[in-house]
Amino acid sequence: MLAAPGLERGYWSVLAKSLETDETLYALNTHKLMMPASATKIVTLAAAAERLGWDFRYETEMLGVGRIESDTLHGDLLVVGSGDPGIVDRDGMASRLFDSWAERLKAAGIRTITGRIIGDDNAFDDESVGFGWSWDDLAEGYAASVSALQYNENRIQLTITPGEAVGAPAHVTIAPRGSSLIVANLLTTSTEKTSSIELRRLAGSSRLQLRGSVPLGSEPSLLGASVENPTLFFVAALREALIDHGIDVRGPAVDIDDLSDAPLRRDGFTLATYHSPPLSTLMMAPFKFSLNLHEETLLKTMGAIAGAPTFKGGCAVVRSTLQQWGVPPGEFILVDGSGLSRYNYVTADALVRTLVHVDHDDKLRGPFASSLPIAGRDGTLSARMKGTAAEGNARAKTGAMANVRTLAGYVKTGDGERVVFAIFANNFEPPSDVITRAIDSIVVRLADFRR
Q: What is the pLDDT of residue 90?
A: 81
Three state DSSP letters for 110-143: CCEECCCEEEECCCCCCCCCCCCCCHHHCCEHHH
Q: List all residues 6 or more positions away from 413 whose beta carbon is below 8 Å from its beta carbon.
A: 419, 446, 447, 448, 449, 450, 451
Contact 11, 426 (CB under 8 A): yes
Q: pLDDT of 323-348, one tens digit each?
A: 999 999 999 999 999 999 999 999 99
Euclidean distance between CA atoms 321 and 58, whole angstroms: 21
| Pairing mode of beta strands 72-80, 332-333 | unpaired
In the chain, list all ranges with CATH 3.40.710.10.
Answer: 11-56+280-448
- Cβ atoms of 410 and 393 within 8 Å: the answer is no
- Class assignment of domain 11-56+280-448? alpha beta
Across the chain, what does the average pLDDT equal? 96
Beta bridge partners of 182: 207
Region(s) of the chain under CATH 3.50.80.20: 59-126+230-276
Q: pLDDT tens digits for 259-292? A: 999 998 899 999 999 999 999 999 999 999 999 9
Mean pLDDT value across residues 58-84 = 97
CA angle, 131 as apex, 255 and 367 as ends, to 5°? 85
Report pLDDT digits (tens) over 427-446: 999 999 999 999 999 999 99
Q: Which amino acid is at 441?
A: S
What does the pLDDT read at residue 377? 98
User: Minimal CA–CA distance to 139: which of 185, 184, 203?
Assistant: 203
Over residues 224-268, the pLDDT tens digits come to 999 999 999 999 999 999 999 999 999 999 999 999 999 988 999
Give pTM, 2 decimals. Answer: 0.95
CATH topology of domain 59-126+230-276: D-tyrosyl-trna(Tyr) Deacylase; Chain: A; (3.50.80)
